[in-house]
Chain A
Amino acid sequence: MTFSWLTVLGAVPLIGAVAVALLPQGRGARADTLSKQVALGVSLLVLALTIYVAVQYDVDGGMQFVEQYEWISAFGAYYAVGLDGIGLLMVLLTAILTPVVILASWNDAEAGRWSVKSFFAWILVLEGLSIGVFVAIDVFLFYVLFEATLIPIYFLIGGFGGARRSYAATKFLVYSLFGGLLMLASVIGLYVLSNGSGTGATYLLSELSQLPIDEETGRWLFLGFFVAFAIKAPMWPVHTWLPDAASEGTPGTSVLLVSVLDKIGTFGMIRFCLGIFPEASAWATPVVVALAIVSVLYGALLAIGQNDIRRLIAYTSVSHFGFIVLGIFVLNSQGHAGAVLYMFNHGLSTAALFLVTGFLISRRGSKLISDFGGAEKVAPVLAGIFLLAGLSSLSLPGLAPFVSEFLVLVGTFSYSPAAAVLATFGIVLAALYILIMYQRTMTGPTRPGLDAMPDLNVREIAALAPLLVLLVVLGFYPKPALAVINPGVETTLEQVGKTDPEPTVSVPASPDAEGVQE
């Protein structure tokens, strides 16, 4: 295919952002509405393009739509983009969530520090850069875009958030830059290695994955990448920026942050940590698995203890990201496929949860669970959607995240039954944090001040509906997503050199599995 689909995909939202920014700075709602409409139109165009690309995508074709041009020859850096299964899913997720967020945030930018149109322009910038990150197949290009995504999200949080938005935005930025710095060191290290390997310097992923890297160096470089991605993901114990950032931004910002940007962390783990440093990844697996399990349980326990709805959801994401990392690093096809699918599903379910609670919060003007109660009676539609989004977050079978979470657990069990038992406690804790929140906000006698709360309007339902439909459809029929994922999983596992354990029909069960009952 000669047409540069991926470049277009990334460039359309960026051009759209410029267009939105150049719109006449009118006073009043009409100019604002125009900027919103243009932004929505651009994002829908991107969605249409993405769907077209997805239809063209050949499931068994490996890396496709590849474009490669020399960029900075002194470094061996290329402008190289390409799409594989996991990249396609992530681009789809970005393209689906952006219009949803724009529609849901229709009136959220009015109270911001800067103009309304800048909010929507930054969202489009973020979309374009995120797509770029997911299609970059050159490490240097990836690094540049990885850092560039910080700019729009910094302005989105810092400009249009709650009372402590400056603190949250700065904290997020410093955390991310620290990770980026470590990654930069590793990126430079890769240059030194590839330059010294005789074939000349290169940053192309396809060539770096063939690069012979000695054990010691590989582990150090791996750590540089891994820490950056772990901060992004975020994993325990480098998670503390997320609750602040997610609770201070507007709901739409939080969706883009948690559902799209944080996925870059886990995406990077698969593509770069496993892809370039298979040996070091296998070496680090026990520690990473342990950290992931701590994340699962720790995030869930902290979520139970929150009184701030937004922080609660942020901590549930810490827990869910624990599952995703767990699935990536148990290095078998169930865990891996589950993790990739989870990245997509978590994006949908968390987006739904953030947006519906955002609507709830904006109606009451408070983020505190203790300020709510009995809202179901006055706003049944909102309550119903809230419950559905919550149930998807606790991985109820029949909703999309279940399949992915269960696959991760199955994969974990093959890796270590003890780890699986610990992670399974996460499903009980998930029921607790979701249902406690639902019970306290939605049920019981209606609180004074809530009696006149309006139910969701058509725009809000329209923003949420695509997410809910996808959650249900993928719950019962995840086949299309898995068909895209599975070939990529095989490739990755081949690179790492792992094969799935055979069923052990005649082998005695490991003692861990038996210890469960006591």
Chain B
Amino acid sequence: MSPLLTSFSPVSAALPMSSLMTPAPMSEAASAVAPAAAEGVFSLMWLIIVLPAIGAAVLLLGGRATDRWGHLLGAATPIASFVLGVVMFAQLLGRPEDDRAVAVTLYDWFDAGAYHVEMGLLLDQLSVLFVLLITGVGSLIHIYSIGYMAHDDRRRRFFGYLNLFVAAMLMLVMGSDYLTLFLGWEGVGLASYLLIGFWQYKNSAAVAAKKAFVVNRVGDMGMALAVMLMFATFGTSSFAGVSAAASEASVSTLTALGLLLLLAACGKSAQVPLQSWLLDAMEGPTPVSALIHAATMVTAGVYLVVRSDFIFNEAPAARTAVVVVGVVTLLWGAIIGCAKDDIKKVLAGSTMSQIGYMMLAAGLGPAGYAFAIFHLLTHGFFKANMFLGAGSVMHGMNDEVDMRRYGALRPFMPVTFLTFAMGYLAIIGFPGFSGFWSKDRIIEVAFAENIWVGLAALIGAGITAFYMTRLVLMTFFTRRRWAEEAHPHESSAVMTMPLIVLAALSVVGGVLALGDWITEWLSPVAGIEHHEAGLPAWVFTILITVTVAIGVAVAWVLVGKRDVSSTAPANVSVATKAARADLYGDAFNEAVLMRPGQYLTRSLVYADNKGIDGTVNGVGGLIGGSSGWLRRLQTGFVRSYALAMLSGVVLVVAALLAVNLA
């Protein structure tokens, strides 16, 4: 029951500088600014993580005794962490620009030989934004879940898992070492596994949960190997140590590190080629999809890349790989989103695609880091908003997820519709909404980097407009297609209140970019470079707005003006079929990995039984068999024994004679 961390009194100390840390040239390694020691309110930093951890422990170990008030405790802990986060954010705002990183060493995790890992926390300009996003959006989603899960008799456990997730996610963004990050990284993987499979009496949910965990583990291999390579190269895996020494390492090492980290990011952020788990993950309850598979956990890959700027800055090849992954995924997810009829899967495809944008921006290096984080935050607002909106729709429609069974829901759920519309306008980049500010910047820097990357990002924006318009039309407009027994209704206030807050944030999220605040804020962590695209900014704005308008118009023509059938048409184009099958990502995995893997396992089991164990048993059998055969020499006939004795005597005598005579 006792929280895992509280038994150790936090020791406030500056992150010790290992002897390896030679001062790096300040021009490029901006993040090498030494974090300050924690004092005042910052010495309570560990509470941000421990509060939800206590919540999880109480709810999961407490059993049925906590059923009655469990959800309230579950919702209270992230709110408390959020309050702490806000206080610390305010403190950071009040500090001078180059003194906004605070580190706390809780205790030594382990050391072996020269390898020393501390359980340390780091709150700087980057992680504090994540703390606010996680606890802020997380609190709203917890509150929403009180209503959404009201009829589930395991609601307490659901809140326990959610608390566990929040604690792990905070560990991920606040850890000051790649290994403490890894602790959170796997912790969120576990929470994601538990929550995707929350309704585990459904086979599909259990399989999806397992798939998510296993695919993530493939990515984790990259993470684990990256840390090993860091230790072999730098003798440490702390952010401070690695960032200070990174510029001294060879480009090939840094490229290897970058690629390994990218593999990890691909797994967690559902980027091609490890994208296949995210669509299946929609088996989980909708608040989970909103919190974990849209707003926070899946963006951890972007966090990892931005956090590792000191590696990627020195490894252009790795950055290029990040850009390629981002571009492929943003189109991949968008195309899938166009063909799905399941409202959550459309949103999941959209999430993949939007994270592709973030990856793309992060891969552009110092020019894009800040925009990646900016889009990550606004996406956290509007995507959580839309997922919760989708949940609200499902809640009113008997958990129906097929958009072909919706239609004309607008008058029945006005609040849901209005808040969803805000999210919709934000994601397609309607001028003035938050997505407009964040996505435009990314497309702009993409053009500055490379015309083709820019074009791909632009096309992605058009497709986004198409599938989101399709979703909104099929759900809230067009004719009603729902079954007779469905009674669409607006959700309760506990669910609509978070929607309203998130909708407001979706609208005004762009203020973060006022006066380039976010780029200025992040510049000590992620460095800043301005790349001129060769054209004035308003040209891009018009270009993007026109593309988005085209996307919306196409959707209007193809979906809004036509009669949407309540069953998916079967005779569709090859492209649609491919998109419905997730562009054959699963088919590929199944044919290339799963089937040969199963075959290998089966043949190895056979070989172990027949081959190795067969050899062992064969040796045993051989000895037994030959003894049985030798036994037959004992005939029991006295005269044959006599003959044997005689021949023995003759042989001995002959031998003696031969020796003596020779």
A interface, CB within 8 angstroms of B: 171, 174-175, 237, 239-241, 298, 301-302, 304-306, 332-334, 336-338, 374, 376-377, 384, 391, 396-398, 403, 406-407, 409-410, 412-414, 417, 420-421, 424-425, 427-428, 431-432, 435-436, 438-439, 442-446, 472-473, 476-479, 482, 486, 489, 500-509, 513-514, 516-517
Contacts and interface: CB of A to CB of B under 8 A. Distances in A.
A333 B112 contact: yes
Contacts of B225: 413, 420-421, 424, 513, 516
A302 B4 contact: no
Contacts of A506: 248-250
B23 to A, nearest CB: 14
15 contacts: A175-B616, A304-B601, A305-B601, A333-B114, A410-B227, A413-B228, A435-B214, A477-B8, A482-B110, A505-B245, A505-B248, A508-B253, A509-B250, A509-B252, A514-B255
B232 interface: yes
B533 interface: no
B58 interface: no
Interface in B67-122: 107-115, 119
B206 A500 contact: no
A517 B226 CA distance: 11
Contacts of B4: 472-473, 476
B231 A410 contact: yes
A435 B227 contact: no
B645 interface: no
Interface residues of B, number: 74
Q: Which 5 A-B pairs have the closest CB atoms?
A: A333-B113, A503-B235, A443-B206, A509-B253, A413-B228
Contacts of A443: 197, 200-201, 203, 205-206
Given A428-B217, A428-B218, A439-B210, A479 B110 contact: yes
A517 B214 contact: no
B493 interface: no
B111 A482 contact: yes
Nearest to B202: A444
Helix, strand, loop or mixed for chain A's interface?
Answer: helix
Interface in B245-263: 245, 248-250, 252-253, 255-256, 259-260, 262-263
A424 B224 contact: yes
B36 interface: no
A334 B252 contact: no
A514 B256 contact: yes
A503 B604 contact: no
A274 B67 CA distance: 56
Contacts of A435: 193, 210, 213-214
B144 interface: no
A58 B333 CA distance: 60
A505 B321 CA distance: 24
Contact of A517 (B109, B187, B259, B604): B259
Given A301-B600, A301-B601, A505 B249 contact: yes
A407 B260 contact: no
Nearest to B117: A403
A410 B114 contact: no
B229 interface: yes
Interface string B251-282: 01101100110110000000000000000000
Interface stretch (B133-141, B495-503, B605-613): B605-613
Given A334-B112, A503-B233, A505-B233, A406 B224 contact: yes
A376 B220 CA distance: 28
Given A240-B613, A376-B200, A398-B187, A478 B110 contact: yes
Contacts of B616: 171, 175, 240-241
Contact of A427 (B107, B217, B263): B217
Indicate the member of A384, A398, A412 with the most B CB atoms within 10 Å.
A398
Interface string B1-24: 000110010000000000010000
Contact of B206 (A332, A444, A517): A444
A395 to B, nearest CB: 9
A171 to B, nearest CB: 8
Contact of A302 (B209, B214, B604, B620): B604
B234 interface: yes
A427 B119 CA distance: 23
A385 to B, nearest CB: 11
Nearest to B605: A305
A241 B114 CA distance: 39
